[in-house]
Amino acid sequence: MAGRARAATSPPASPPPGKQFAEVVVVRHGETSWNATRTIQGQMDPELNDTGRRQALVVARRLSREAKPAAVYSSDLKRAAETAQTIATACGVSSLVLDPALRERHMGDLHGLAFDDAVRRNPEIFSSYSRTQEIPGGGESLDQLSKRCVSYLNTVAEKHKGERVIVVTHGASTEELCIHADPTSPVRGKLYNTSICVFRIGGGEWILEKAGDVGHLDQGEFL
């Protein structure tokens, strides 16, 4: 079930009696050359560019100063896996799990297109608010993406009750997690590379504590 959102400045809510929550810190991967040129990546597999590697180091440094995570989970795509490895190393975590369930939305025939070209060719996909519309060429609907990612995080949270874990994934995937926790969350297009979202998940309840935090980045250089 969906949960409720809390402002980033609010103190953490106390878990209801009888419930154990996992703190799940979701990080979007660092920048790739495809991000920089606004090319649709989806489940294509470009690696981080130099900016992305610097971003990964900066967010890793920040997370290493916070409570130590029990594990790091990541999409198996290179841009996420490299970001996750950088974070795991900085945090002294040996448990790094790569899983395709955390991949970006499958974009079907739109893979590899410049974003503006994709909009011109398929305006109905970008103007439609239907959560069930699949993208031609085997692409996912928003509901399919949400189900995949939410199910995986529920499994992770069940395994790590009372613990903190870090999950590295992608822009659209993270947006769907935020919207699951808070359907009114205004995150579309606002989750920058290596932005941090913090959830507390337990017993089917999701609490969005923080969304799109990029306080670790120098905005003049990275945003």
Numbered residues of the known binding site for substrate: 28-35, 79
Does the active-site annotation cover 209?
no
Residue 156 and residue 24 in contact, taking contact as beta carbons nearer than 8 Å: yes
Q: Which of 29, 106, 111, 160 is catalytic?
A: 29
Q: Which of 104, 175, 176, 209 is catalytic?
A: 104
What HEC string does 164-193 produce? EEEEEECHHHHHHHHHHHCCCCCCCCCCCC
Which residues make Cβ contacts (< 8 Å) with residue 19, sequence separation at least 6? 202, 203, 205
Q: CB atoms < 10 A from the CB of 104, how many?
A: 24
Does the active-site annotation cover 29?
yes
| Catalytic residue IDs | 29, 104
